[in-house]
Amino acid sequence: MNKSVLHTLPEGHTEWPKITVVTPSYNQGPYIEETILSIIGQQYPNLEYFVVDGGSTDETVSIIRKYSEHINWWVSEKDRGQSDAINKGFKRATGDIVNWINSDDILYPNALFHIAQTYMANPDAGFVYGKTQRFNSEGPMEMMQHDVPDLPLMYYYYFPYGQQGCFYKRSILEQIGYLNESLHFSMDFDLFIRLHLHARTVKTDVLVGGFRDHVASKTNNLESVMVQENLGVFRCLMQAFGYTKGLDTLAACGAPALELNGYNNPNVSFTEAELGHMTSRFLVRYIYFSEVNGKHQYLYHALKFIRQHDPQEYQKKRNYFDRLYRKAALLRFIKS
C-alpha cells in the first residue's frame, strides 16, 4: 500500500481513531531519543503520546524536554517499576487504541496508520498485532512474528509476536484490568492472555515494531526470574480452566502459585486435548534453558508430560528428549 493511499481515510470514516502510546523509561539515555522520534515521526494525526520516566539520573530527562512540545504529557518521578509506569500512562489515556513502546524500542514508519487501517477494516477487533523485528547496533535481526497451524491456541502458551507490535482497545483494557504490578517480567504475558480471552484478535503482516537487542536490556538479564514468572502465569491459566494434569506437572516443574485474576470468561472453553497441547508446547519452551541451567526436576516432569500427552511433539526430537529424560531421571533429586 503506497503512502498516499495509506494516509487517506477509508470510505465511510471521517476521522482517524485516537491512539495512545506510552513510553516507560529509566536511564535509557543512549536509546530514548530514537524511540521518541520513531513515535512522533509517525505524523499520525490523532496521536496521544506519554512518556513516564522513573526518575532517571542520566541524559534521559534532557532528551524528553527536547521533544516536550510533541509529547502530550510526561513525568519524571520515582515509581514502583515498569508496570507501574505503564499503568500511569494507561490510566491517563483517552485514546481508543493503546500500547506501550519501551524507551529502547521503536515503531517503524507508518506503523500507526497500518494499525488504524486494520482496526477500521475490523471494527469488532479488540487486539491487533503486526510484525515485530529484533534489531541491534549492527542492524535488523530475526522477525518475532510466527505463523503456525494452531495459532489461536498459541496465543495462550507463547504469544507469536513482539509486544511492540500489539495494539488493543482501551475499553477492553479497562474492562479486564491493567498490568499486574506484582509481575516484573511477565506482565505482558499475563495481560495478553487476558486480552485474548476477552477480545477478537486480528493479525496483520505489516512490520510495526522493533525490539532492540542489547546487553543491558531487561529481557537479556535475569532470565531465570522471567522463566519462573511465566511458569506461574501459565499455571494460573490452567487453574482457571481446571486442568489438573497440567497443574500437577507445572507445580512439579517449579511453577510458583501466583494470585492472578482475569482468566475466566464463560464464553471461552477448551477441550482437555487442547489444554494438554497448550501445556506441552508451553513446557517445550524451556527445555533448552533447563538443560543449560541444570534444572533436572523441570526436565524430568516436563518431558514425562510431553511424552504422555503430546507424543507427536516428543517424536520430533526423540533422541534429544530421550537423552535428557534419562539424565534427569537420575539427577532430579540433586538440588538444582
Domain definitions of the chain by residue range: 3-220, 223-331
Distance, CA of 90 to CA of 100 (rounded, Å): 9
Higher pLDDT, 83 or 144: 83
State whether the Cα torsion 164-133-142-202 is positive or negative: positive
Just give the CATH number of 3-220.
3.90.550.10
Q: Is 234 exposed, middle or buried (0-12, 13-18, 19+ CB in 10 A)?
A: buried
Strand partners, 167: 128
pLDDT at 251 over 90: yes
pLDDT at 218 over 90: no
pLDDT at 220 over 50: no
Tens of pLDDT, residues 172-196: 999 999 999 999 899 999 999 999 9
Distance, CA of 108 to CA of 105 (rounded, Å): 10
From 139-148, 162-171, 256-265, the region with the lowest mean pLDDT: 139-148
pLDDT bin (cut points 50, 70, 90) of residue 152 is confident
How does DSSP assign 45-102, residue by residue? TTEEEEEEE---SSTHHHHHHHTGGG-SEEEE---S-HHHHHHHHHHH---SEEEE--
Calculate mean pLDDT across residues 120-135.
93
pLDDT at 335 over 90: no
pLDDT reported for residue 136: 79
pLDDT at 2 over 70: no
Distance, CA of 335 to CA of 13 (rounded, Å): 62
Indicate the pairing of strand 97-100 with strand 166-169. Answer: antiparallel
**Phi, psi (degrees; rounded to nearest 5) at 57:** -110, 5
Tens of pLDDT, residues 302-313: 999 999 999 999
pLDDT at 219 over 90: no
pLDDT reported for residue 137: 75
pLDDT reported for residue 130: 93
